[in-house]
Amino acid sequence: MASEIVINSNPREIRVALVENNQLAEIFIEHKTKKGIVGNIYKGVVTKVLPGMQVAFVDIGLERAGFLYVGDIDIIDLVEYDGEEENQDGSLIGEKPSSQVQSHREQGRGIPIQDLLEEGQEIMVQVAKNPMGTKGARITSFITLAGRHVVYMPTVNQISASRRIEDEDEKERLKKLVAEIGRPGEGYIVRTAGLNRQKEDFETDLNFLHKLWDNIKARSESVSAPNLQYEDLNLIFRSMRDLFNEDVERLVIDSQADFESSVEFCSAYLPHLVDKIEYYKESVPIFDYYGIEIEINRALGRKIWLKSGGFISIDQTEALVAIDVNTGKFVGHSDPEETILKTNLEAAKEVVYQLRLRNIGGIIIVDFIDMARNESKEIVWNALTQELKFDRSRTNILKISELGLVEMTRKRVRGSLSQTLCDPCPYCEGKGHIKSATTVCYEIIRALQRLSSNSITQKAVTLEVPSVVYDLLFEEETSYLDEIEKLYKIQLTVEVNPKLHQEKYKIIS
Residue 161 and residue 78 share a domain: yes
pLDDT at 19: 93
Residue 55 and residue 20 share a domain: no
Q: What is the DSSP letter of 481?
A: H
CATH code for the domain of 447: 3.40.1260.20
Asked if residue 57 is part of any domain, the answer here is yes
Asked if residue 427 is part of any domain, the answer here is no
Tell which of 217, 233, 249 closes a domain: 233
Tell which of 186, 216, 233 closes a domain: 233
CATH code for the domain of 29: 3.30.420.60
Residue 401 and residue 370 share a domain: yes
Asked if residue 429 is part of any domain, the answer here is no
Residue 79 and residue 190 share a domain: yes
Residue 448 and residue 377 share a domain: no
pLDDT at 268: 76
Number of domains within the chain: 4
Residue 190 and residue 278 share a domain: no
Nearest to 505, CA basis, from 447, 465, 468, 469: 465
Residue 225 and residue 93 share a domain: yes
Task: Provide the edge-to-edge strand list for the sheet that holds 248-253.
Answer: 23-31, 13-20, 3-9, 248-253, 277-279
Query: With b meaning 16 or more CB within 10 Å and e meaning fewer, what string describes 204-220?
Result: bbbebbbebbeebeeeb
Residue 285 and residue 337 share a domain: no
pLDDT at 81: 31
pLDDT at 6: 96
pTM of the model: 0.68
Residue 507 to residue 509: CA distance in whole angstroms: 6
Residue 324 and residue 218 share a domain: no
CATH code for the domain of 47: 2.40.50.140
Residue 490 and residue 375 share a domain: no
Residue 56 and residue 22 share a domain: no
Asked if residue 426 is part of any domain, the answer here is no
Nearest to 109, CA basis, from 73, 67, 142: 73
Residue 59 and residue 18 share a domain: no
472: left (phi over 0), alpha (psi -120 to 50) or beta: alpha
Q: What are phi and psi of 284, to 5 degrees?
A: -70, 135
pLDDT at 312: 92
Q: Structural domain of residue 74, as residue ranges?
A: 41-233
Residues of the chain under the 50 pLDDT cut: 78-108, 456
- pLDDT digits over 410-464, tens only? 987 677 888 888 887 888 777 778 889 889 888 888 888 777 666 545 578 888 9
